Structures are given as structure tokens and as C-alpha cells.
Structure 1
Amino acid sequence: MTDEKTAGKKKADKNSQKQNTVKLPRELALDTLIEILEKGDFSHTLLNKTLKNQKNLTKQDRSFITRLVEGTLERLITLDYILDAYSKVKVKKMKPFIRNLLRMSLYQLKYMDQVPDSAVCNESVKLAEKRGFKTLSGFVNGVLRNIARSSENDILPSEEKDKITFLSVFYSTPQWIIEKWLREYDYNTVKKMLSAQFEEKSYTTIRVNTAMNTSKELAEILKTEGIEVVEGSYLSCALKIREFDSLDAIKAFQEGRFTVQDESSMFIGLIAGIKENNRIIDVCGAPGGKALHAAELLGGTGMVETRDVSDFKVALIQENIKRMGFHNMKAVKKDATVKDEESMDQADIVIADLPCSGLGVIGKKPDIKYNMTEEKQQELVKLQRDILSVVNGYVKKGGTLIYSTCTINPDENLKNVEWFTENYPFQLTSIEDCLPDEFPCASKKEGYLQLLPGVNDTDGFFMAKLKKQL
């Protein structure tokens, strides 16, 4: 072989090796799913990390990866049910790479109409071969092509014969959650809550930093960046945006003109009754959304001390404080279960948005519903009570404690409030005058809200306003 031919072959081999190491969107999505489902990483943080680390991805690629990862997680029980019906090897017995490849590919077949079935099958085979599973590529191809030719309607459970199994498989939610919700809510309400997790999440809800701009001004600024903007569902300080690449790339975000926050948690700042020069302690504050809102409502006066248990979470809060430009707010590392003697009787308002099962936000963090169990939920109820037992002491007489969670289970919500008022000198106080007149809620006078996904146009969220007796 001539030197010229040898050089040409080496160059071709080098290019081939380089192409083989470059990860295209499907492979990036698959690796992200494996980390989440096999290693237990959190979906929202890992997906954000994946997208942030891939600087060369187009906007279309980012959207595709996001849809593929979130969609596969959302529909996991449904996907596994269908795969088990078509494969001789059950999902739990498959190699981790293969089962997640099939899950992701099946999601494309069944829920992404813009992707041709042939492309799904062909790309799945290529991925299996690239990652060293050539001997199983025929199995992958066969399962997917059989499903593509069939209809899952033939195998899905009947709603008439077995409502709980139907709801579990059709809405991809563990049976214990459905059984628990059915004990608290009627069947149609449960269906609404379950279906809400699959509603199109094309909009991101943001809260306007009114210290810098009005909602109208911010909307105009965002539109100049090509971002679509609509008003929030209930609050004037809320906007919904879409058609942007990433938050970090939005100039207005970099300048602190807004922060990402669901409207449900914006209500916390409204019901707290914040006044100038108040001292506010947020005991479990990361990443700082509610505390930032409180600092803004103080109008540059007073002080908000936001606490969390780890250096990482405190760093997140500090990053947001710096970006938003508030000087009446600080972040400190403190464990909410450990009494801080210096804080006793010092706070006008304590915000206790406590660790919870998170089942009100499974539409945004779908892996939560698979990782939570009844046992873990009961452990969280104990943790919530342990924290309340400590932090109530920080509230001045006549001051306010706001208790909230992003879940919809009474054990963690109203039952905790009932336990708390029985054991400590606090009582629920009306929040009727704090909320928009048009906001539908029968319990405003009683002093609490239970927001339900699919019923209210928000996350599932609970909050209660409690006054310390004089």
C-alpha cells in the first residue's frame, strides 16, 4: 500500500472513530434516562446538567432530548406494561441498557407522531450496536416492529373491569398513590389530577421582579428576544413564557428581571402579610423563590434569612440573590431540625415550606412518583412535625408561620396543621383578603389552600397561615 493510501486509510479510520464517540440526541437522552432510572439521580437536575454541558446542541435538539427524557419517565409504567406484553423477556430481566433503549424507543413510537416508526427502529438498532449489544439488536428490532404493527388498546386494562389497574397503567402512576387519592377525592377528580401530569408543558411560569420592571415592561423586553409571553392564570406578577433556548441565555434572566416560580408558591408571599421592616426566616429555602419574593415585597427594608441544610443548596440561594440584586436577603447553612437559640422569638414571619412527598409536582418531576413509597411518606410526616416543633419558636408572639408543601396528601397537609394547632399556641387565620377575588377556594376563610393539578391551573400545593397567640 502506498504512503498516500495508508495516510488516507488512517484519516478515514480516525474520522470513523470520532463519529463513533460523538453522541447524538437519542444517545444523550438514553444515557440521561439510565442515570435517572438505574442510578437514582434526580430527573430535573440531571436533564438540566446534560443540556448545559452540550454547548453545540441546537434548540430543536434540546427540545427533542427534553421531550424524550421527560416523556419516557412520565409514561414508564405504561411503557413497561406494553413491553412485557410483546417481549418474552420481561422488562425487569433485561439488561439496563436494553430496557431503557426499548422504553425510550417505544415512547417515540406511541407518543411522538412526528418521528417515523422506521426511523425509531433503525436508530434503536444502531444505538444497540454502537454500545456493544450487536447480538441483541435483532431482539430490539423485533420487539419494536411488532409493537409498531399493533395497537396497545388491545392489551391495556379495562376501566370497567378494574378501575385502579386501569388508572395505574393508563396514567403511569403506582397503585398505592391512586388508592390513597381515591380515599380522599372522588374518581373524576383523581382522573383530572392524573391526566394533568401529561398536559403540554410548553410554558414556563415566571415571577416578575417588580423592583426592576412591571409585568408589561418585562413582557415587551422578552418579546424583543423572540420569546412568546402570556399572562399568568391568577396573579399580575406572573407571566408564562416559551420559545426560548435556555434560561441562562435570556438577557432579562441574567439581569435579574424575573425568576422561575409556579403561581402556587407565589401565593405564599401574598398570604404572609409582609410589612416593611419585617424580619423573615425561611427555614428550608433552596433555591430561594419564596424568599426572593418576600425580599421584594419588603421594598428594600427588613431582612429575609433563607436557610438550608447543605452547602450546595445555600450556594443555589446565594446565586439567585446575586442575580436578582437584593440586599435585604441572606443565605445561611442551618439544619431546620436543630434549634437555633439566637432565633427564638425573633421572626415576624417564618416560612416553613418543608420537605414532602412532592406528589403535587409529578408533572414537572415525573420520577418522584416511582421513588416515593407509603413508608417514605410517613417518614416525611414525622420530619415535617419535627421541624415544626423547632421552628415555631422563632415566631414572635402575634407573628405568622406559613406552612406549605408541594403535595396533595392530607397526612402531610391539613392533618399536620391540626396536629400543630393542638400542640402549639397557633391558630389558623383567614387568607380571604390576601388572594384574588376570582381565585376559587372554599377554605380561604379557614386559613388554608389545597391546590390540585388539573383542577386549579397550578402545581399541586398546600399552604396554611398560622398566627402565634399573644
Structure 2
Amino acid sequence: MRLHRNLVFATIDALAEIFNDGSYADKVIEKTLKRDKRWGSRDRSFIAETTYDIVRWKRLYAEIAEVKEPFKREDLFRIFAVWCVLRGIKLPDWPQFEGTPVRRIKGKFDELSRIRKFRESVPDWMDELGETELGDKVWTKELHALNEQAPVVIRANRLKTNPKDLAEKLEAEGIETTNIRNYPEALELKQRANIFKTKAFQDGLFEVQDASSQRVADLLDVKPGMRVVDTCAGAGGKTLHLAALMENKGQIIALDIYGNKLKELKRRAKRAGAHNVETRSIDSTKVIKKLYNSADRVLIDAPCSGLGVLSRNPDAKWKLQPDFLEKIKNTQLEILEKYSRIVKEGGKLVYATCSILPSENEKQVQKFLKTEIGKDFTLLKEKKILSSESGYDGFYMALLQKA
């Protein structure tokens, strides 16, 4: 592979913004890719994939390069040189790479690869926490899986198509997919591609949604004609899945504290042809109170550490802090106690997170069941999905029923 100066410099600029300014990797990459209209798809994928790769392995590479944060520009070039050496890419004859100690880099890599926190490139506290909560064997496997590049999975929108027809339409547009066993609406892309430019996407025939995430709406057991409340709807991936399962019949009330996410949900619902979705911004406690004891089904896709989706958000490893984790656990329990009141007698509730930590998952459900409001609920089933076993995002979901 021959390295092009403008692509390498664009990557270095992106890394400086992500590491030193704390910007989100996906937003930085999106902005960086707009820098030069002459870049083709191969150039863009080089910048995106290299940036994500270096973000993913930041700790390991920085340790090998013997640099510390905040990174100076020459530090980032040293990290980039480590990336090249470990991938067998010939370093160009540029001043930035002069005197790169190739043999020392390889030797240091071999030495650090024996220590999990360096090998899998995670902060000390996260490595200790994962081992405490999941045990050494499971955590080691899970960390390894979460460092793999996440596959691109889409969900066929049953309001407009089915997986078989969708696969044919995408193939006609040059995108090959494969079915996933036991995931009735999912298709996985054989190769990464910009699927948002396809006519099939613009026509609302599918949504990008990981296979594990597709399990959540299925578990809620919705039927056409029901009243369903999605309490932490965000931009609505699961809301739209619920709309399709309900065949556009009945009512879905999508709630969120962020109005801009609900705007995005409205736009997506229009494209998907989901007409039974109504958005409501949680701008006061009244919004929730008005809904008490009124819904057949309630979804709480709770805010969480996001440890189950590190393969698609590798920069979260470096942004997450132990004190945030403690705060978010309190929030999860508060949300459970407050939003569970929306369920009517005989109704059902799903509590879900994209975390793999028992303290955010089954332990939260057990705590909730011991509260005053929780005593009215019974745990019907729970599902724990590990990336190392499924190949997809790590997830947890519990189905509860109100007496």
C-alpha cells in the first residue's frame, strides 16, 4: 500500500481532534471526509478505517510509541508509524517518519501483547471492572470481540418490503447481503458500502440496525392496535421496528428528553411510512404523569455505559469515566421506577441496555422488583447477548409483566 500525504495528514488532523479535543470520532470523520471533493471511495475508506483503527488501539500504540496525552503532532505521527509497522505498510521517506525504530516497535508489541489491558487497549479501571463483573475468562473473550470491526446489519422495513425483495433490490444497486439465521428481518452486508446513497434507503425500505438491537422490539410482544410507549426513543431505531411489527395500527408514543433526536425520528418515520408514531418531548414531569397506567406495552431502552457497542464506538473507551458509570446506574433505577408507572394492569415492559455489565442489567432489574412499584411486576424472561458469542453488539433485555 502506498501512503498519500493528503490522506495521512487528514487522518492525523482527525486524530488530534478526537484525542486532544474530546470530539466524537464519527462526527470528526464525517467532517474530515468532506474536506476534499476529489477523494474517491477508496480514499475516504482509508481515512475512516485508519482513524477508527488507531482510536481503537490508542493505548497499545501510544505505549509502543512511548508518547503521552495530550499528543503533540509529532506524537501522532509516531503513533501512525506504529500502525504502519504493525500492518506491514512501508513507511514513506518523509521527515515525519525519519528514524522510526521498526525492530523496537515489533519487539515492544510482542512484549505488551502478553498483558490484556495493553493487548486489548483499555483503561486500567475498565479492565478491572470487566473482570470483577464478568470473570476473567468471559471478559477476556468479550474484550477481544469488542475490538473487532462491527458488521453492517440492516433491518428490512416490513411496512414496505421483505428481506428477500430488499436483498434483490440492493443487489441491483451493487450491494450484496446475506441472511442471518434466527433474525427474521435482518440482512448483513458482505462488504462495507455507503448504503445511505441507495435508492432502497431513500425509499424507506430499510434501517441500519444491529442484529442484537432488533431483538428488543421482538421481545416486547406488541400487537396491532395496542398503545405502546417508547420512553427513551432517541432517533427511533426501535420505535420504527415497533411500528412495523404493529403494521401501522394502534399508537406509539415516542418520548425523549432531547427534542433534536425526536425531530430526526419524525424524519425517519416519514421515510419509513410509519404513521402511528407520535413524538413527545419530556420537558416536565407532567408528560410522564399523564401517561400513568395507560399503555399496553412500555419500552425502556435505558441510557447506559455502552460497553456492549465498543466495536462500533471505539472512542467511548476513552470518554467513559468510573464516576459516570455510578451516575448512570442511579439514573437507570430512577427511570425504571418512574416510567414503569406508564404500564397498565396486565401490560408488559421491556428494560434494555447496550451494556454487558450485570450491575447495569440483571442487578438493576432485581433492585427494581424489590421497590414499592416493582412489587407489582414479575420477570417473565431475560436475554443476555455477548459479542463473543453472537458476533453482534452486546445487549441485555428483560421482559416484565404488571399484575
Normalised to the residue count of structure 1, the TM-score between the two structures is 0.79
Equivalent of residue 73 in structure 1, options 33, 39, 55: 55
| 1:17-416 equivalent positions in 2, closer than 5 A | 24-51=6-33, 55-84=37-66, 90-92=67-69, 94-95=71-72, 97-111=73-87, 113=88, 115-117=89-91, 119=92, 122=94, 125=95, 137=96, 140-142=97-99, 145-147=100-102, 150-153=105-108, 156-157=111-112, 159=114, 166-201=115-150, 203-243=151-191, 245-334=193-282, 340-416=288-364
Superposed CA deviations along residues 182-221 of structure 1, whole A, max 9, x for unmatched, are 22334332221111123244x4100001121111111011
Give, in angstroms, the shift of residue 91 of structure 1: 2.4
Q: Check 1:181–1:428 CA distance in 2 against 1; reply closer, same or farther (3 A cut).
A: farther
Give, in angstroms, the shift of residue 300 of structure 1: 1.6
Q: Is the 8 A contact 1:234 1:263 kept in 2?
A: no
| 1:426-437 equivalent positions in 2, closer than 5 A | 426-430=376-380
Q: Check 1:405–1:55 CA distance in 2 against 1; reply closer, same or farther (3 A cut).
A: farther
Give, in angstroms, the shift of residue 245 of structure 1: 4.1
Rounded Cα–Cα distance in structure 2 between residues aligned with 1:408 and 1:298: 29
Q: Is the 8 A contact 1:396 1:468 kept in 2?
A: yes
Q: Check 1:100–1:415 CA distance in 2 against 1; reply closer, same or farther (3 A cut).
A: same
Q: Check 1:304–1:176 CA distance in 2 against 1; reply closer, same or farther (3 A cut).
A: same
| 1:454-469 equivalent positions in 2, closer than 5 A | 454-469=388-403
C-alpha RMSD over aligned residues: 2.3
Q: Check 1:243–1:182 CA distance in 2 against 1; reply closer, same or farther (3 A cut).
A: closer
Give, in angstroms, the shift of residue 409 of structure 1: 0.9
SS of structure 2 residue aligned to 1:104: helix
Q: Is the 8 A contact 2:178 2:190 kept in 1?
A: no
Could you tell me which residue of structure 2 aligns to residue 17 of structure 1? Answer: none
Give, in angstroms, the shift of residue 344 of structure 1: 1.3
Rounded Cα–Cα distance in structure 1 between residues aligned with 2:391 and 2:283: 33
Give, in angstroms, the shift of residue 371 of structure 1: 1.4
Q: Check 1:413–1:224 CA distance in 2 against 1; reply closer, same or farther (3 A cut).
A: same
Could you tell me which residue of structure 2 aligns to residue 425 of structure 1? Answer: 375
SS of structure 1 residue aligned to 2:153: strand
Counterpart amino acid of 1:427? F
SS of structure 2 residue aligned to 1:252: helix
SS of structure 1 residue aligned to 2:101: helix
Rounded Cα–Cα distance in structure 2 between residues aligned with 1:241 and 1:55: 26
Counterpart amino acid of 1:70? Y
Counterpart amino acid of 1:78? L
Paired residues, number: 398
Q: Check 1:49–1:257 CA distance in 2 against 1; reply closer, same or farther (3 A cut).
A: farther
- Percent sequence identity is 29
Counterpart amino acid of 1:147? V
Rounded Cα–Cα distance in structure 2 between residues aligned with 1:103 and 1:467: 52
Rounded Cα–Cα distance in structure 1 between residues aligned with 2:84 and 2:243: 44
Rounded Cα–Cα distance in structure 2 between residues aligned with 1:234 and 1:373: 36
Rounded Cα–Cα distance in structure 2 between residues aligned with 1:288 and 1:53: 30
Give, in angstroms, the shift of residue 264 of structure 1: 0.9
SS of structure 2 residue aligned to 1:32: helix
SS of structure 2 residue aligned to 1:463: strand
Q: Is the 8 A contact 1:336 1:390 kept in 2?
A: no
Structure 2: gaps spanning 5 or more residues: none
Rounded Cα–Cα distance in structure 2 between residues aligned with 1:171 and 1:148: 21
Q: Which moved more, 1:191-200 or 1:376-385?
A: 191-200
Q: Is the 8 A contact 2:307 2:394 kept in 1?
A: yes
Q: Check 1:353–1:246 CA distance in 2 against 1; reply closer, same or farther (3 A cut).
A: same
Superposed CA deviations along residues 395-424 of structure 1, whole A, max 9, x for unmatched, are 111111111111111111111101111112
Rounded Cα–Cα distance in structure 2 between residues aligned with 1:108 and 1:270: 44
Q: Is the 8 A contact 1:285 1:291 kept in 2?
A: yes
Give, in angstroms, the shift of residue 54 of structure 1: 5.1
Q: Is the 8 A contact 2:65 2:105 kept in 1?
A: no
SS of structure 1 residue aligned to 2:398: strand
Rounded Cα–Cα distance in structure 1 between residues aligned with 2:28 and 2:144: 25
Q: Check 1:251–1:54 CA distance in 2 against 1; reply closer, same or farther (3 A cut).
A: farther
Q: Is the 8 A contact 2:204 2:272 kept in 1?
A: yes
Moved over 4 A (4+): 52-55, 335-339
